């Protein structure tokens, strides 16, 4: 079999089980998972090395033809990249995730530490916890948050350890510092974070409770995973604070500012309902 070249240049043997897991968690039917794996192996059997982008594009094309329902979930990792170019929309997205988990959350908070002031990306709190959350957004998959980032965050958390806040309720000190990235951490950054007591989260780390898990658990998918909207449409909505598909599901009138024709608007709403409420987008498209 062939090897797959990752975005960062690393190579690994193609894994049927890895692709199977990715497709199954995206909601692809078992029969179609087997069919796509068979087609991948037939298509690229003579290749010695295959860029991961080419493999991804091939699988996405097959899903687009045979299981549109699964496309948004299969493309979540890359959809997070397009929340940029700045990190602010990603911070807003994470704040929505924490709110769905029962926290209050505010972005861009200026906090006074022992030595200097700090702008904290997100402060989240509930009855028992006060979390100071630093967010590292990357717009390319090959970029990773490294040890220098973890060291920097540790220094900030140490300076803020005695800072007291009271947003709604009794005064609290930080109970945990958290570092979140939309791509990956280097192995040395993870090793340092574990040793230094920093909670770290990436798209697929830790094994349970990672960013992908939280997206699925809360049902809050990034607006950018929608295939029926153009880049311009998505930018217009993001600029107006529409960060998740759920926001549009709850208030479809927000689509009015895009001036979509009737058929396009219906396709968009069908896709949103498929993502948020697990309706059958494939059948709705066949009917239309």
- Token representation of residue 44: 């690229």
Predicted confidence at residue 288, as pLDDT, reads: 47
Could you say which of 1.10.10, 2.120.10, 1.10.150, 1.20.120 is the CATH number of the domain covering 222-287? 1.10.150
Separation CA 66–CA 123 (nearest Å): 42
pLDDT tens track for 217-273: 999 999 999 999 999 999 999 999 999 999 999 999 999 999 999 999 999 999 999
In this structure, which topology does domain 88-218 adopt according to CATH? Trna Endonuclease; Chain: A, domain 1 (3.40.1350)
**Structure tokens that stand for 33 in this block:** 């998972």
pLDDT at 2: 87
pLDDT value, residue 85: 86
What's the predicted TM-score (pTM) here?
0.89
Cis before 85? omega within 30: yes
CA distances from residue 272 to 97, 128, 280 in whole angstroms, order as listed:
18, 35, 11
Digit-coded pLDDT (tens) for 137-148: 999 998 999 999
Other C-beta atoms lying within 10 Å of the C-beta of residue 276:
18
Distance CA 127, CA 263 (A): 46
3-class DSSP state for residue 146?
coil
* Structure token digits, residue 65: 């033809």
Average pLDDT score, the chain: 92
Give me the residues of the chain with pLDDT under 50, please: 287-288
User: Domains of the chain: which residue ranges?
Assistant: 3-66, 88-218, 222-287
């Amino acid at each position: 079999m062939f090897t797959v070249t990752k975005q960062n240049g690393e190579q690994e043997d193609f894994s049927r089980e890895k692709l199977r897991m990715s497709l199954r968690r995206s909601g692809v039917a078992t029969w179609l998972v087997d069919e796509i794996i068979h087609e991948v192996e037939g298509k690229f059997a003579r290749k010695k090395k295959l860029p991961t982008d080419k493999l991804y594009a091939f699988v996405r094309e097959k899903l687009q033809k045979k299981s549109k329902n699964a496309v948004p979930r299969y493309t979540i990792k890359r959809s997070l990249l397009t929340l940029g170019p700045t990190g602010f929309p990603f911070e807003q997205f994470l704040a929505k995730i924490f709110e769905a988990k029962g926290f209050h959350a505010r972005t861009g908070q200026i906090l006074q530490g022992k030595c200097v002031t700090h702008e904290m990306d997100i402060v989240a709190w509930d009855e028992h916890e006060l979390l100071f959350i630093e967010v590292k957004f990357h717009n390319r998959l090959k970029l990773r948050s490294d040890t220098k980032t973890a060291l920097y965050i540790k220094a900030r958390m140490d300076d803020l350890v005695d800072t007291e806040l009271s947003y709604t309720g009794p005064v609290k000190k930080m109970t945990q510092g958290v570092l979140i990235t939309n791509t990956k951490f280097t192995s040395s950054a993870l090793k340092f974070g574990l040793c230094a007591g920093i909670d770290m989260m990436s798209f697929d780390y830790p094994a349970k409770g990672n960013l992908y898990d939280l997206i699925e658990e809360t049902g809050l998918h990034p607006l950018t995973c929608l295939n029926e909207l153009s880049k311009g449409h998505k930018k217009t909505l993001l600029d107006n604070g529409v960060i998740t598909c759920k926001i549009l599901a709850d208030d479809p009138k927000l689509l009015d500012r895009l001036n979509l024709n009737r058929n396009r608007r219906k396709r968009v709403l069908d896709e949103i309902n498929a993502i948020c409420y697990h309706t059958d987008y494939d059948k709705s498209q066949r009917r239309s």
